[in-house]
Amino acid sequence: MSSFMHNSLACESNALWVLARAIFTLRSFARARALALLFFVLPALLQATPIRVIDEAAIPLAGFLSKVDFDQRYPGDLLDHPSKLDTGWYVIYEHESLNYYFGPILLESIGNDYFDQLSEIIELAVIQRPSIQDYRFELSYEPNASSSESKSTEPSTQNPLPPQAPPKPSFWSFVKKVFGFR
Protein backbone atom coordinates (compact mmCIF):
# COMPACT_ATOMS: atom_id res chain seq x y z
CA MET A 1 0.00 0.00 0.00
CA SER A 2 2.85 2.32 0.66
CA SER A 3 4.20 1.72 -2.83
CA PHE A 4 0.78 2.60 -4.32
CA MET A 5 0.72 5.85 -2.35
CA HIS A 6 4.29 6.55 -3.22
CA ASN A 7 3.62 6.01 -6.93
CA SER A 8 0.51 8.21 -6.78
CA LEU A 9 2.40 11.01 -5.09
CA ALA A 10 5.30 10.59 -7.50
CA CYS A 11 2.96 10.89 -10.48
CA GLU A 12 1.12 13.79 -8.91
CA SER A 13 4.32 15.68 -8.09
CA ASN A 14 5.63 14.93 -11.58
CA ALA A 15 2.44 16.39 -13.08
CA LEU A 16 2.79 19.43 -10.86
CA TRP A 17 6.42 19.74 -11.94
CA VAL A 18 5.44 19.59 -15.61
CA LEU A 19 2.71 22.16 -15.04
CA ALA A 20 5.10 24.46 -13.18
CA ARG A 21 7.68 24.14 -15.98
CA ALA A 22 5.01 24.93 -18.60
CA ILE A 23 3.90 28.05 -16.70
CA PHE A 24 7.51 29.16 -16.27
CA THR A 25 8.20 28.59 -19.97
CA LEU A 26 5.14 30.60 -20.98
CA ARG A 27 6.14 33.41 -18.64
CA SER A 28 9.69 33.30 -19.98
CA PHE A 29 8.34 33.39 -23.53
CA ALA A 30 6.16 36.40 -22.67
CA ARG A 31 9.17 38.09 -21.05
CA ALA A 32 11.32 37.32 -24.08
CA ARG A 33 8.64 38.73 -26.36
CA ALA A 34 8.35 41.85 -24.23
CA LEU A 35 12.13 42.30 -24.20
CA ALA A 36 12.30 41.81 -27.96
CA LEU A 37 9.64 44.47 -28.44
CA LEU A 38 11.50 46.74 -26.06
CA PHE A 39 14.80 46.38 -27.91
CA PHE A 40 13.37 46.61 -31.43
CA VAL A 41 10.53 49.09 -31.08
CA LEU A 42 11.91 51.51 -28.49
CA PRO A 43 14.93 52.63 -30.57
CA ALA A 44 12.65 53.24 -33.53
CA LEU A 45 10.38 55.36 -31.35
CA LEU A 46 13.32 57.27 -29.92
CA GLN A 47 14.63 58.04 -33.41
CA ALA A 48 11.21 59.16 -34.57
CA THR A 49 11.88 62.77 -33.57
CA PRO A 50 11.02 64.72 -36.72
CA ILE A 51 13.45 67.07 -38.40
CA ARG A 52 12.29 70.66 -38.39
CA VAL A 53 13.49 72.52 -41.49
CA ILE A 54 13.53 76.26 -40.85
CA ASP A 55 14.44 79.14 -43.14
CA GLU A 56 18.02 80.26 -42.50
CA ALA A 57 16.85 83.87 -42.16
CA ALA A 58 15.50 82.86 -38.73
CA ILE A 59 19.02 82.37 -37.29
CA PRO A 60 19.69 86.03 -36.40
CA LEU A 61 16.36 86.20 -34.53
CA ALA A 62 16.96 82.98 -32.59
CA GLY A 63 18.89 84.87 -29.93
CA PHE A 64 16.22 87.53 -29.41
CA LEU A 65 12.95 85.62 -29.49
CA SER A 66 11.70 83.27 -26.79
CA LYS A 67 11.24 79.64 -27.82
CA VAL A 68 7.46 80.04 -27.95
CA ASP A 69 7.69 83.19 -30.11
CA PHE A 70 10.35 81.61 -32.33
CA ASP A 71 8.27 78.44 -32.84
CA GLN A 72 5.21 80.53 -33.65
CA ARG A 73 7.01 82.83 -36.08
CA TYR A 74 9.06 80.09 -37.78
CA PRO A 75 7.12 76.82 -37.64
CA GLY A 76 9.18 75.27 -40.43
CA ASP A 77 8.47 71.99 -42.21
CA LEU A 78 8.56 68.66 -40.38
CA LEU A 79 10.31 65.77 -42.13
CA ASP A 80 10.73 62.15 -41.06
CA HIS A 81 14.22 61.49 -42.40
CA PRO A 82 17.20 63.54 -43.63
CA SER A 83 16.96 61.89 -47.05
CA LYS A 84 13.79 63.94 -47.67
CA LEU A 85 15.66 67.24 -47.37
CA ASP A 86 16.12 69.51 -50.37
CA THR A 87 19.67 69.58 -51.65
CA GLY A 88 21.83 72.31 -50.13
CA TRP A 89 23.84 73.42 -47.13
CA TYR A 90 22.19 73.24 -43.70
CA VAL A 91 23.18 74.64 -40.32
CA ILE A 92 22.19 71.74 -38.06
CA TYR A 93 21.45 71.97 -34.35
CA GLU A 94 20.29 68.83 -32.55
CA HIS A 95 19.82 68.50 -28.80
CA GLU A 96 17.55 66.01 -27.04
CA SER A 97 14.18 66.40 -28.81
CA LEU A 98 15.21 69.41 -30.95
CA ASN A 99 16.24 68.73 -34.54
CA TYR A 100 16.63 72.10 -36.25
CA TYR A 101 17.94 72.19 -39.83
CA PHE A 102 18.32 75.78 -41.04
CA GLY A 103 18.37 75.89 -44.81
CA PRO A 104 18.76 74.91 -47.59
CA ILE A 105 21.51 77.43 -48.22
CA LEU A 106 22.85 77.75 -51.76
CA LEU A 107 26.49 78.61 -51.02
CA GLU A 108 28.81 77.17 -48.37
CA SER A 109 30.25 80.61 -47.62
CA ILE A 110 26.81 81.95 -46.71
CA GLY A 111 26.29 78.82 -44.63
CA ASN A 112 29.52 79.56 -42.76
CA ASP A 113 28.24 83.07 -41.97
CA TYR A 114 24.98 81.67 -40.56
CA PHE A 115 26.95 78.98 -38.71
CA ASP A 116 29.08 81.67 -37.02
CA GLN A 117 25.97 83.65 -36.03
CA LEU A 118 24.27 80.62 -34.52
CA SER A 119 27.44 79.48 -32.74
CA GLU A 120 27.55 82.82 -30.87
CA ILE A 121 23.91 82.38 -29.85
CA ILE A 122 24.57 78.81 -28.67
CA GLU A 123 27.66 79.86 -26.70
CA LEU A 124 25.61 82.51 -24.87
CA ALA A 125 22.85 79.98 -24.15
CA VAL A 126 25.37 77.47 -22.77
CA ILE A 127 26.87 80.17 -20.51
CA GLN A 128 23.38 80.96 -19.18
CA ARG A 129 22.40 77.28 -18.87
CA PRO A 130 25.42 75.02 -18.30
CA SER A 131 23.11 71.99 -18.35
CA ILE A 132 23.05 72.24 -22.16
CA GLN A 133 25.50 69.54 -23.19
CA ASP A 134 25.85 66.81 -25.79
CA TYR A 135 24.41 68.70 -28.71
CA ARG A 136 25.21 68.37 -32.39
CA PHE A 137 26.04 71.58 -34.20
CA GLU A 138 27.47 71.63 -37.70
CA LEU A 139 27.29 72.94 -41.24
CA SER A 140 26.54 70.06 -43.56
CA TYR A 141 25.63 69.46 -47.18
CA GLU A 142 22.40 67.47 -47.17
CA PRO A 143 21.14 65.02 -48.10
CA ASN A 144 24.54 63.40 -47.78
CA ALA A 145 25.37 59.83 -48.75
CA SER A 146 24.72 58.37 -45.29
CA SER A 147 21.35 60.09 -44.82
CA SER A 148 20.12 59.37 -48.34
CA GLU A 149 20.66 55.63 -48.07
CA SER A 150 17.34 53.90 -48.12
CA LYS A 151 16.05 50.36 -48.34
CA SER A 152 14.93 50.78 -51.93
CA THR A 153 16.91 49.12 -54.67
CA GLU A 154 16.62 52.01 -57.09
CA PRO A 155 19.96 53.52 -58.08
CA SER A 156 20.62 56.95 -56.69
CA THR A 157 20.60 59.76 -59.23
CA GLN A 158 21.86 62.38 -56.81
CA ASN A 159 25.49 63.44 -56.73
CA PRO A 160 26.69 63.24 -53.10
CA LEU A 161 29.40 65.88 -53.71
CA PRO A 162 28.52 69.51 -53.03
CA PRO A 163 28.19 71.78 -56.06
CA GLN A 164 31.30 73.73 -56.99
CA ALA A 165 31.02 77.48 -56.74
CA PRO A 166 31.27 79.26 -60.10
CA PRO A 167 34.57 81.03 -60.71
CA LYS A 168 34.73 84.58 -59.41
CA PRO A 169 34.11 87.12 -62.14
CA SER A 170 37.10 89.24 -63.01
CA PHE A 171 37.60 92.32 -65.09
CA TRP A 172 39.00 90.27 -68.00
CA SER A 173 36.10 87.83 -67.99
CA PHE A 174 33.77 90.84 -68.22
CA VAL A 175 35.76 92.24 -71.18
CA LYS A 176 35.69 88.84 -72.93
CA LYS A 177 31.94 88.59 -72.38
CA VAL A 178 31.34 92.13 -73.78
CA PHE A 179 33.33 91.39 -76.94
CA GLY A 180 31.80 87.95 -77.42
CA PHE A 181 34.88 85.82 -76.73
CA ARG A 182 33.05 83.68 -74.27
Q: 132 or 91, which is more confident?
A: 91
Name the band, by pLDDT with cuts 50, 70 and 90, for residue 139.
very high
Of 73, 77, 70, 139, nearest to 110 (Cα)? 139
54: exposed, middle or buried (C-beta count within 10 Å: 0-12, 13-18, 19+)? Answer: buried
Over residues 34-57, the mean pLDDT reads 65
Length of the chain: 182
- CA dist 119 and 122 (Å) reads 5
Residue 110 neighbours by CB distance under 10 Å: 13
Reported as a pLDDT band with limits 50, 70 and 90, residue 12 is very low
- In sequence order, the 6+-apart residues with CB closer than 8 A to the CB of 121 are 59, 62, 63
Q: How far is CA 50 from the centre of its chain?
A: 7
Give the confidence band of 2 by pLDDT, cuts at 50, 70, 90.
very low
The pLDDT value given to residue 53: 94
- Gap between the Cα atoms of 31 and 121, Å rounded: 47
Is the overall model pTM greater than 0.85, yes or no? no
Helix (H) or strand (E) run with residue 101 in it: strand 98-105
Give pLDDT, residue 13.
Answer: 52
Radius of gyration from C-alpha coordinates of the chain: 31
End-to-end CA distance of the chain, in Å? 117
In this model, does residue 6 exceed pLDDT 50?
Answer: no
The predicted structure's pLDDT at residue 123: 92
Specify the range with the lowest mean pLDDT, choosing from 29-43, 47-61, 74-88, 164-178: 29-43
| Every domain of the chain and the residues it spans | 1-48, 51-148
Pairing of β 77-79 and β 51-54: antiparallel
Distance CA 99, CA 27 (A): 40
